[in-house]
Amino acid sequence: MAIGKKRTNNPDGMRRRVLDVAEDTFQARGYHASSLGDLMAAAGVTGGALHHHFPTKKALALAVIEERVAAAVRETWIDPVLAAPSAREGVRAVFEAVAEELEQQGYVRGCPLNNLAHELSLADDEFRLALARIFADWRRAIADKIRADQLGGGESAIDPERYAALTVAAYSGAMSMAKTSQDAGVLRECLKGVESFALSPPQGRLKRRRRVLPRPKVR
Amino acid sequence: MAIGKKRTNNPDGMRRRVLDVAEDTFQARGYHASSLGDLMAAAGVTGGALHHHFPTKKALALAVIEERVAAAVRETWIDPVLAAPSAREGVRAVFEAVAEELEQQGYVRGCPLNNLAHELSLADDEFRLALARIFADWRRAIADKIRADQLGGGESAIDPERYAALTVAAYSGAMSMAKTSQDAGVLRECLKGVESFALSPPQGRLKRRRRVLPRPKVR
DNA sequence: CTCAAAACAGGATGATTATCCTGTTTATAA
DNA sequence: TTATAAACAGGATAATCATCCTGTTTTGAG
């Protein structure tokens, strides 16, 4: 350390700075491709400080998952959907907001939850369970919102769990493709698909009705 | 080498054995977590032989992507869907076949394409483009099949590209959740969602109808 | 048969990396 | 003030890893 320099302990701030950098780097390069040396340099943190707050790389990643990834899903998905007038409108708003944000920033880094889920789910059961919990909370929030809409009379009798599962899956898969093609357009495409599901009448009626409809002429 | 032992050159077989092991290990542990030493031991191949066929680890992964992952998507998705009586029936058959296979083997390793796409898309543009091509072929096959169904009069006027995008996204996302929860049930749930999309009326009519609906009362 | 290239063997190497360890400084409770 | 633990510094270390290199064996063309 430079002579004459004073030091001020700031454990919370230092922990936060490390998590900031780790969240960002794990998202951009993945867990295994991010070295602690890189993180230390980017965060301006020494090895001693890093090791003090996070004794192992796994502990750091676990903190990123439980504190940052979970919060990201909450902030971009759960809270907006719960605050929306309806589940359908909330889902549409999130899809469109994310698509627009990605198009403005010009590149797609993917969904932080899915990125880490793919890399770490099979590597370690603690990772897997922490990630699975976030998926479950995400789906439960959407299903709960659908149920609330149905109680209010504003939603058809679709299966809430099914709608939630399809929505999360469609978003996750669309982000996967968007990341691979570096094009957020597929998000909008998949949103339209999910919306048509949300608006379709319940399964039993649908099947019966379809029999009666005349075959559409195409081309 | 042991004295008196003869050696038989078998370049194709050795290349295939390396690719077999690499495909399997990359799928189970990912690219960065798989060391060439592990691969060499598992394949029973020396460093010299490995380096002769694949000068770098990246070259090996590229071969896995272009030869094995592309073939896996073709065999489990493209060919069955194209061979099915209709796109919808083909999609349903694939979802159910995969779900059943996963339930029988008792664990979920995820979709090889999505696994590598998440880990490698941002790492290297060559990786990314090779993976994007596979996604594109996958979607195109489904869209083409829908168009064929429509020409035959057996499919409603849904947008083929939209149906393909939603199907691939729903499958990819469902596999992501199945892998994280180690439970293939979500695949069946998402299949039902996609099926109801396939049966819903075309988008234009839908949108117009929506305007007329009264706003749902929430809380 | 000859010989050049392909196929393979196996160790060397340098770079990277996560973890640990020994100190030093700062804060806090008594 | 003093003692004790927390907070931080910074280098050591041992293991790992991808690549490279030198040498040997096999193969096939001419």
In tens, the pLDDT along A66-87 reads: 999 999 999 999 999 999 999 9
Look at A109 and B122 and tell me if their CB atoms are within 8 Å: yes
* Contact call for B177 and A194, based on CB within 8 A: no
Q: Where are the domains of chain A?
A: 9-55, 58-201
pLDDT band at B218 (very low <50, low <70, confident <90, very high): very low
- pLDDT of A213: 34
**CA-to-CA distance for B21 and A134, rounded, in angstroms?**
33
Grade residue B199 by pLDDT with cuts at 50, 70 and 90.
Answer: low
Q: Which bases of strand C have any atom within 7 Å of the beta carbon of a protein residue?
A: 6-12, 16-23, 25-27
Which comes out higher in pLDDT, residue B16 or A196? B16
What's the CA gap between A90 and A78, in Å, rounded?
A: 9
What pLDDT is stored for residue B184 in this prediction?
Answer: 98
CA of B2 to C1' of C8 (A): 14
Arithmetic mean of pLDDT, B11-20: 96
The shares of helix, strand and coil residues in chain B, as percent rounded to the nearest 5, are 75, 0, 25
Q: Among all residues of chain A, which has the CA nearest to that of B178?
A: A132
B153: confidence class by pLDDT, cuts 50, 70, 90: confident
pLDDT bucket at A197, cuts 50 / 70 / 90: low
CATH topology classification for B11-55:
Arc Repressor Mutant, subunit A (1.10.10)
CATH number for the segment(s) A58-201: 1.10.357.10
pLDDT at A78: 98
**Residues A202 and B219 sit within 8 Å (Cβ to Cβ):** no
pLDDT category at B211 given cuts 50, 70, 90 is very low
Distances (CA, A) of A143 to A91, A148, B1: 12, 9, 63
Q: Is the pLDDT of residue B205 over 70?
A: no
The pLDDT value recorded for residue A34 is 98
* Interchain CB distance below 8 Å, A186 and B169: yes
Please give the pLDDT value at position B175: 98
A4 in the Ramachandran plot: left (φ > 0), alpha (ψ -120 to 50) or beta? Answer: left
The CATH class of the B62-201 domain is: mainly alpha
- 3-class secondary-structure state, position A187: helix
Note the pLDDT tens digit of each residue in A139-177: 999 999 999 999 988 778 889 999 999 999 999 999 999
Q: Which nucleotides of D are covered by protein (CB under 7 A)?
A: 6-12, 16-23, 25-27
The pLDDT tens digits of the residues spanning B86-131 come to 999 999 999 999 999 999 999 999 999 999 999 999 999 999 999 9
- SS percent in chain A: helix, strand, coil, step 5: 75, 0, 25
Pick the CATH number of A9-55 from 1.20.120.450, 3.90.420.10, 1.10.10.60, 1.10.287.3510: 1.10.10.60
Q: What is the structure's pLDDT at B91?
A: 97
Of A115, A155, A216, the CB nearest to B216: A155
CA distance A163 to B192: 10
How confident is the model at residue A212, as a pLDDT? Answer: 35
